[in-house]
Chains A and B, each alone.
Chain A
Amino acid sequence: MLAIPDNFTARGLIYLALVATLCAMAYGVAMGSYGLIAGGVWQQMLYGAIKVPVLLLVTFALTLPSFLVVNTLLGLRGDLKEVISALLTAQAVVAIALVSLAPLTLFWYASFRDYNNAILFNGVMFALASTGAQRPLRERYRSLVKRNPRHGTMLKVWLVAYAFVGIQMGWVLRPFIGKPGAPAQFFRDEKWDNAYVIVARMIWNAIQP
């Protein structure tokens, strides 16, 4: 984590993206190994190696354009390289943290075979990794905020926008783990749906008499 370069060159950014991709792939394999351990299918490891990097980096790529335009409008274009570097660092740190948590995931799979618990455990791992990445992100943003307080607002905007896209991305890319007994599949057969619509319906059903 400490080896991440602090420079803002194109090479540095590519390096960060590469680290994020490779680590995310590694965690994807670990995540998909549930099939192998709990008596499912091995293909999910392969899919996981594709899906976890896609989850992190495609969400990043979709959210970035609007973020950059709004940054420019707020007069923060001068700090662009530092901003992108800070955000990519956060991506890389999430992925590195996930890799470091992978042995725990494997251990969990080996000790508890329940599918729903496996999902829950992975959710906790992602939450932990994301929380861990907040620290370097905020550290890098601190000097930016000192230069211009508007960076602080933009950091919040980024986190909200990234979560908004990321939640739907995670929903679309299911299954990550692979239900035992179900055939290996890249996407669920059931129709894609919107995570937010489902939540809205659940809330509506809960508050209805």
Chain B
Amino acid sequence: MLGYVRHLDRILRGEATSFDAIRENRFDIPIVGISFVLTILGMIYGLCMGTFSLTAHGSKEGMQILATTVKVPALFLLTLIVTFPSLYVFNSLFGSRLNLPTMLRLMIGSLAVAMAVLSSIGPIVAFFSVSSTSYAFMVLLNVVVFALSGFLGLGFLLQTLHRLTIADLPAPPPLPPPVAEAQHTDAELLGTTTEPSPSLSPIALPDRRRVSAGVWLIFRVWVIVFGLVGSQMAWVLRPFIGSPDKEFTWFRPTGGSFFEAVAGHVQRLFGA
């Protein structure tokens, strides 16, 4: 367990997906182990998200917090299961040479980044949950928090996809010529002299080479498919927070959509 947490740390630091690691075929995110860790992280956030139901202005249903704790990791893992086959096929159609395990590692890694960010914002959400009376505010705050962590997860996805594609090129990628070197800022060069790898970031470009059009296309398709399925999955799995004037159920009847609901809560927040 601790080993997997350490591995998650390597992912967050960018060591697991550094350009060198990928080129030397050391892109080794343990799928089961990291899935386990990201489930725990999702549960931590679920616990924080569910606290609103325990307050005087929540639904006061004890089961809600338990349900939310289970549902947050389920939301992400189920979305992955539903979308993965089509994403893989799309990917192959667009000519990417990523094999199945690599793609799965990539997706699990991105989810792990998103879950790590999500659970780290958990304390703030829990604080707002216990100190807020407005259900609409809590819904919107959670939407924003999910969006933020999703955004960072996508950053990881894009950069790792980019690195994998570059490293996958048949010819070894040309070393950055001196001209490209000169484009580096002084600060970056300064950093390399004082520390071995000062800005090893999993979500920033390894060098100034542009992301290729193919990677952008695949990335866009993934974002749209994963985003749409994910938000609808969230809608199917609701309630997460627990409306104060509704009784606890594990699932609500189908109907409506995620986007309609968000628009409705924005109106309610402003008192309309």
Contact = CB atoms under 8 A, between A and B. Distances in A.
Contacts of A62: 123-124, 127
Contact of B116 (A63, A69, A76, A147): A69
B136 to A, nearest CB: 8
Interface string B170-208: 000000000000000101101100110011111110000
B199 A193 contact: no
A201 B201 CA distance: 41
A180 to B, nearest CB: 26
Interface in A145-176: 145-150, 161, 164-165, 168-169, 171-172
B187 A147 contact: yes
Given A66-B117, A200-B270, A200-B271, A192 B123 contact: no
Contacts of A78: 195, 198
B130 to A, nearest CB: 8
Given A62-B123, A74-B201, A78-B195, A168 B270 contact: no
B134 interface: yes
Contact of A73 (B134, B195, B203, B271): B203
A69 B113 CA distance: 9
A168 B129 CA distance: 11
Interface residue tally on B, bucketed by range: 35 or more
Interface in A65-80: 65-66, 68-70, 72-78
A75 B187 contact: no
B93 interface: no
Interface in B7-59: 9, 12-14, 56-57
Contacts of B195: 78
A148 B198 contact: yes
B131 interface: yes
A197 B202 CA distance: 36
A97 B74 CA distance: 48
B203 A74 contact: yes
Contact of B190 (A147, A161, A164): A147
Interface in A171-192: 171-172, 191-192
B188 to A, nearest CB: 7
A86 B188 CA distance: 21
Contacts of A116: none
Contact of A191 (B127, B133, B203, B204): B133
Nearest to B136: A197
B46 to A, nearest CB: 16
The main secondary structure of chain B at its interface with chain A is helix
A203 interface: yes
A170 to B, nearest CB: 11
Contacts of A9: none
B133 A73 contact: no
Contact of A194 (B14, B113, B132, B270): B132
A165 B124 contact: yes
B137 interface: yes
A148 B202 contact: no
A196 B128 CA distance: 11
Contacts of B191: 147-148
A168 B270 CA distance: 18
A171 B130 CA distance: 13
A77 B271 CA distance: 43
Contacts of B201: 73-76, 150
A111 interface: no
Given A172-B131, A194-B133, A77 B120 contact: no
A107 interface: no
10 contacts: A72-B12, A73-B14, A73-B155, A75-B14, A146-B190, A147-B194, A169-B127, A171-B131, A191-B56, A191-B57
Given A146-B190, A200-B269, 7 more contacts: A74-B204, A75-B200, A75-B202, A150-B201, A168-B128, A191-B133, A193-B134
Interface of A: 61-63, 65-66, 68-70, 72-78, 145-150, 161, 164-165, 168-169, 171-172, 191-194, 196-197, 200-201, 203-205
Please provide the 4 A-B residue pairs with the shortest distance between their CB atoms, ordered closest to farther. Answer: A75-B201, A194-B132, A66-B120, A204-B270
